[in-house]
Amino acid sequence: MKTLERLVLQFLKSIIDPLLDQFQFAYRNNKSVDDAVALGLFYVLQHLDSLNTYVRILFVGFSYVFNTIIPSKLVDKIQGLGVPQSACLWILDFLLNRPQVIKIGDMQLIIISYVIY
């Protein structure tokens, strides 16, 4: 599954990467959280060089954001970015109604989650 995910990611990146904002740091080659912090600090210090100014900063963590993505909205978004409809439909099918198998000893439980959005 990981190999398939890497292939799909490589395909999607080839289409979407040129369209991403220059300040998008996550999941980009040669960019990291450190780059985002350094750039943010640069802008803060540059602003504070002016007299009678102050800065407020809000940090937001998205550690589990990808477990809450609504598949149909994701597909609408990537289709709007130029991903072919056939690839979008394949991704939607891949994300919806996927059975999961849990094995405990000799017992196997099959869980089918039906996502309706």
Q: What is the mean pLDDT of the chain?
A: 82
End-to-end CA distance of the chain: 25
Q: What is the pTM of this model?
A: 0.56
Q: pLDDT tens across 30-79, in order?
A: 888 889 889 999 999 999 999 999 999 887 766 665 566 788 888 999 99
pLDDT band at 117 (very low <50, low <70, confident <90, very high): very low
Q: pLDDT tens across 18-37, in order?
A: 888 888 887 788 888 889 88
